[in-house]
Amino acid sequence: MITIDHREKVKRKYPLKEVMTPYERLRSLPGAAEYLASGVTLAKLDAIADQMSDNQFVERMVHARSVPFRQISRFDVLSYTNGMIVWLK
């Protein structure tokens, strides 16, 4: 539901029954299995989804996303000496 307040600011309210994770939304679509790649089934995805909670998956993704940045910052150090940029490894 969209409302506009007295300052003309748009506010959106989402009913609780419409708030869901992307996987839950995929499952709610009619013919959801048609959108999956070959060899992937809803049963396999259900088994993966049941392994961890949503919050545990988020923690895992945040960690996986930060690993490459930690490797770059650990090995590549930028030094500015005598007007020249030097990469130290």
Amino acid 49: pLDDT: 87
Q: How confident is the model at residue 16 (pLDDT cuts 50, 70, 90)?
A: confident
pLDDT score of 47 more than 90: yes
pLDDT score of 89 more than 60: no
pTM score, two decimals? 0.52
Total of domains in the chain: 1
Contact by Cβ (8 Å): 4, 11: yes
H/E stretch holding 20: none
CA distance 2 to 13: 6
Amino acid 21: pLDDT: 86
- Residue identified by tokens 């988020």 is 58
Mean pLDDT of 18-42: 91
Give the domain range for residue 83.
2-88
